[in-house]
Amino acid sequence: MTNEGDKKSRFYTCSCFTTDNIFLDDYKLHVRFVSEHQFRLEYKPLLTRLGCVTELQFLDVLTKVSQEVDRRRHTCETSAERTAAIKNTYQPLHPHVYHLQESYLAPKLKQLVAYCSSSDACEEGLTELLEDVGASRVYRLPVFEKSFCEQLVEELEHFEQSSAPKGRPNTMNHYGILLNELGFDEDFITPLREHYLQPLASLLYPDCGGCCLDSHKAFVVKYAMNEDLDLSYHYDNAEVTLNVSLGKEFKDGNIFFGDMRQVSISETECTEVEHRVSEGLLHRGQHMHGALPISCGQRWNLIVWMRASQERNKLCPMCNRKPSLMEADGFADGFTKQSESLQNGFCELTLSADLLKSLSPTLPVTSDALLQSAALRPGRRCLAADIPTPVAVHVGVVVRLHLNLDLRHRAGHPSAHRHGRGQQRFEFLTSSLSSAFGFFFSFSFFFFFLSSSFFFSFSGNRSSSQAKSCWENIMSSTFRITIKPRI
């Protein structure tokens, strides 16, 4: 089903989806398959050491890998067919759980989000309100009311027992439900991400895309006796992950965290963390983790992989290469195409509120007027106000010796104020700057752009005519000043 939650951007999948990270459950191994010849050369010796000793066993592995590759190649078509069939045939037990309501959320979660919107919000202050579980930058927080978790699990069990078609969440989990196919994306997961999870991630994980999460993949996994018991060590196809325990009753099955994916497990001391029903664990997607086996009962978990196209467009987290994009439905794997031109955009200058007030005598408009006209948005730590270009340039000149200006273009995005989406970065470099100051530039260089020897960078090099066009677009546009209470 095409996600309605974000019609403003089109999302893509990296072509590595059909070749990389294919999980062989029998050998607890992720493999890459391009051809039989390549696969034999790369994996036959390793598989032999892992117990795949006969040619018949190897052919069985090859058959399973080929089937998985074929499944992935047809994912969009089969998912669309399942979604249509579910919509036409499945009757929900609890229709209300498909629409997020504040009453479903734990009071503490709403308090955390309110803190993120406060003027003094900072990472240190937020982490003091969260439970540190012992693993680096992994935080526990209440997410849902227990009564809602019970109803959600009842709905999921009702669907599981129905005749409606079902798709597996990924190659590692055999039992679970893709929530976009069931109809949860538009009115539940998207508002949960945008209004409640994004504010937290913006403060906790700004270095890995937490401030610009613009898509997700959400699914539920189920662990039970005679089904999936555990989950092998892995990392997620996400910038930030939320893992919420929904129930039911179970014993053991703790999650364990190692280090980031660049670190071998042999060099890692893992931290074991207990699941608590209705509570979630928030962590970086590239943080290696796994699940120990349950010993009895059933464990249902909601997993939300949150993606930031701004981060993953640079490097695909699954193949470590620049993404080669393929068209896909809905949020796909969270990649977007970089805009090749500037269109109807805004630019952004980041100033401190105190600095702006100290400069107010020099401005054509007062800082109080800017502050009063700005709108405080939920989950944002800043105020924003539009001012004409000449004022922005004037501000830039005044503060050039005091502030490193972060100038961003909101390329063609109607909701230009929303942090992160459609965001491109301009870098103005002059050959006269020493390497020590290469990335700290003054806004006053704008005035010398056409007469000086400048290198203009906008998502890669551009010709002089393109740079001139960008410059003209900038000067005719409106600037958005973002006034942050703290730097």
**Residue 31, beta-bridge partner list:** 22
Domain that holds residue 235: 11-336
What is the 3 state secondary structure string of the chain?
A: CCCCCCCCCCCEEEHHHHCCCEEECCCCEEECCCCHHHHHHHHHHHHHHCCCCCHHHHHHHHHHHHHHHHHHHCHHHHHHHHHHHHHHHCCCCCHHHHCCCHHHECHHHHHHHHHHCCCCCCHHHHHHHCEECCCCCCEEEECECHHHHHHHHHHHHHHHCCCCCCCCCCCCCCCEEEHHHHCCHHHHHHHHHHHHHHHHHHHHCHHHCHHHCCEEEEEEEEEECCCCCCEEEECCCCCEEEEEEEECCEEECCEEEEEECCCCHHHCCCEEECCCECEEEEEECCEEEEECCEEEEEEEEEEEEEECHHHHCCCCCCCCCCCCEEECCCCCCCECCCCCCCCCCEEEEEEEHHHHHHHHHHCCCCHHHHHHHCCCCCCCCCEEEEECHHHHHHHHHHCCCCCCCCCEEECCCCCCCCCCCCEEEEEEEECCCCHHHCCCCCHHHHHHCCCCCEEEEECCECCHHHHHHHHHHHHHCEEEEEEECCC
Residues ≥6 apart with Cβ < 8 Å to 77: none
Average pLDDT, the chain: 76
Are 79 and 183 within 8 A, CB to CB? no
What pLDDT is attached to residue 396?
39
Predicted local distance difference test score (pLDDT) of residue 407: 33
> Cβ(304)–Cβ(189) under 8 Å?
yes
Above pLDDT 90, what percent of the chain? 62
CB 218 within 8 Å of CB 184: yes
Answer yes or no: is pLDDT of 3 > 70.
no
Cα distance between residue 335 and residue 327, in whole Å: 10
Across the range 285-300, mean pLDDT stands at: 95
pLDDT 10s digits, 476-485? 443 444 444 4
Return d(Cα 152, Cα 158) in angstroms, integer. 10
Could you tell me if residue 15 is inside a domain? yes
Q: Is 386's pLDDT higher than 50?
A: no
Tell me if 17 is assigned to some domain: yes
Q: Is residue 455 part of a domain?
A: no
Residue 280: inside a domain? yes
- Residues 312 and 317: their CA atoms lie apart, in Å, by 7
Q: Using CA atoms, how far apart are residues 130 and 140, in angstroms rounded to an integer?
A: 6
pTM of the model: 0.71
- Would you place residue 339 in the very low, low, confident or very high pLDDT band (cuts 50, 70, 90)? low
d(CA 419, CA 416): 8
- Where residue 168 falls among pLDDT bands split at 50, 70, 90? confident
Half-sphere exposure of 271 (CA within 13 A, CB side): 15
Residue 211 one-letter amino acid? C
Q: Which residue has the higher pLDDT, 269 or 113?
A: 113
- pLDDT score at 266: 75
For 431-480, write each residue's pLDDT tens digit: 223 333 333 333 433 333 333 333 333 333 334 444 444 444 444 443 44
pLDDT of 1 above 90:
no
pLDDT at 205: 97
Tally of domains in the chain:
1
How confident is the model over 16-68, as pLDDT tens digits? 999 999 999 999 999 999 999 999 999 999 999 999 999 999 999 999 999 99
Given a cut of 60, is residue 147 above it in pLDDT?
yes
Q: What is the pLDDT of residue 459?
A: 33
**Strand 250-252, strand 325-327: pairing:** unpaired
Residue 250: inside a domain = yes
CB 283 within 8 A of CB 257: yes
Angle at CA of residue 202, ends 13 and 121, nearest 5°: 175
Task: Look at 195 and 338; give whichever has higher pLDDT.
Answer: 195
Count CA atoms within 13 Å of residue 256 on its CB side.
17
Per-residue pLDDT band for 141 (boundaries 50, 70, 90) equals very high
CATH no. for residue 308?
2.60.120.620
CA 368 to chain centre: 35
Distance CA 13, CA 389 (A): 38
d(CA 28, CA 230): 12
Mean pLDDT of 419-428: 31
N-term to C-term CA, the chain: 41
Is 380 part of a structural domain of the chain? no
Return the amino acid letter for 429: L
Contact 8, 333 (CB under 8 A): no
126 found inside a domain:
yes
Cα-based angle 130, 284, 153 (whole degrees, multiple of 5):
70
Indicate if the pLDDT at residue 389 is higher than 50.
no
Q: Give the strand pairing for 139-142 and 176-178.
A: unpaired
pLDDT band for position 265 (50/70/90)? confident
- Which is higher by pLDDT, 33 or 341? 33
The answer to whether position 276 is within a domain reads yes
Q: Parallel, antiparallel, or unpaired for β 478-484 and 346-352?
A: parallel
- Give the per-residue pLDDT at 8: 60
Q: Tens of pLDDT along 66-122?
A: 999 999 999 999 999 999 999 999 999 999 999 999 999 999 999 999 999 999 999
